[in-house]
Amino acid sequence: MIDAIIDTDPGIDDALAILLALKSGRFRVHAMTTVAGNSPIEDTTANAEFLLALAGRGDIPLYTGARKPLQRDLVTAPVHGKGGLAGVRQDRPASLTDDAPAKTVEIVRDSTQPITLIALGPLTNVAQAILLDAEAMSRVQEIVVMGGTFGGPGNMPHGSEFNLYVDPEAADIVFRFPVRTAVVPLEVCDPLKFHSDYFKALRDEDIRRPVTRMMSGFYETLLSLKQEAGVALYDPITVYYAINPSAFKLTPRQISIGLDDSTDRGRTTGTAVIDSESSGLNFVAESLDLQAFRRDFIKLLNG
């Protein structure tokens, strides 16, 4: 069992990542925390509530965090459609607790088992938790991050990736923090494209219906925008890393992140680690056994 906190900004691929984590039975999820990213915090929180209920896990505590990045205005990703989940959730106001960083610190400090922190959105909450209590946060076993690109074209200006572009200052804090970080970048996930058809094998009809609707909506939107045939699912692959790290090839890298709006905001550079002193902190996934993920994803979602 992996003791985990999932920090997320659902988002369609976050939604599938959350369902993967909750249905797989591989995690003891101590809390879900929401952050503003793909959509404003009200939507990411209402979506997280909706997904916990969908998975039958309303018992998992949900805390809400940052309403905006540390130093910047929020940039959202309208590509996820109405409400951030292609309109599948009924409108319902979310109650905001604003305490995700404090609760993260508390859980990490008090847990008898080391916590894996899975970050699927901008890193604002994680950075705030570090700023709040670095000593407690140094007990985190591993921070697993969906973010960045190392040599790929990116999906935001300056060849950056969305999560790190939205809050580069937060990412900078996290990558400098002396806790092991495993980063799953865009290019590891991009070769694998999904269609709603893949999810027809979901056994639970109550989950199959909204998932296939979300995926069809996402597919249509991406097709109209980029003529892209199929949807890359970044966040579930990041959760899969926590489940099956041996399916990934990781390389130690010293990660630096651009902070300049006009030239390199959010752009990641991974320098090869040569001396042993700086090794052992940040690891970047370079490849994934794509067939293993395609095979396991649906099995794990089916529980």
Binding mask 96-135 for Ca ion (x = CB under 5 A): ------------------------xx--------------
Residue closer to Ca ion, measured from CB, 14 or 106: 14
What residues from 209 to 268 belong to the interface with Ca ion (CB under 5 A)?
235
Query: Per CB under 6 A, which of residues 61..120 are in contact with ligand BDR?
Result: 77, 120
One residue of 7, 13, 49, 172 binding ligand BDR per CB under 6 A: 13
* DSSP structure string for 222-285: HHHHH---SEE-HHHHHHHHHH-GGGEEEEEEEEEE---TTTTTT-EEEEEP-STTS-SSEEEE
Close Cβ partners of 42 (under 8 Å, ≥ 6 residues apart): 93, 94, 96
Q: How far is the CB of 80 from ligand BDR (least distance, A)?
A: 7
Q: How far is the CB of 235 from Ca ion (least distance, A)?
A: 5
Closest CB to ligand BDR among residues 203, 226: 226
- 172 binds ligand BDR, rule: CB under 6 A: no
Q: Is the peptide bond before 11 cis (omega within 30 degrees of 0)?
A: yes
- Nearest CB to Ca ion, comparing residues 115 and 145: 145
Does residue 47 bind ligand BDR (CB under 6 A)?
Answer: no
CA distances from 215 to 21, 34, 256 (A): 18, 22, 34
Residues 135 to 164: which contact ligand BDR by CB under 6 A?
Answer: 146, 155, 161-163
* Beta strands, E only, the chain: 2-8, 27-34, 62-64, 116-119, 142-146, 181-184, 193-194, 231-232, 248-257, 268-272, 282-288
Residue 194 engages ligand BDR in binding (rule: CB under 6 A): no
Q: Pairing between strand 181-184 and 282-288? A: parallel
CB of 59 to Ca ion, least distance (A): 23
Interface residues toward Ca ion, by CB under 5 A: 9, 11, 14, 120-121, 235
Interface residues toward ligand BDR, by CB under 6 A: 11, 13-14, 38, 77, 120-121, 146, 155, 161-163, 234-235
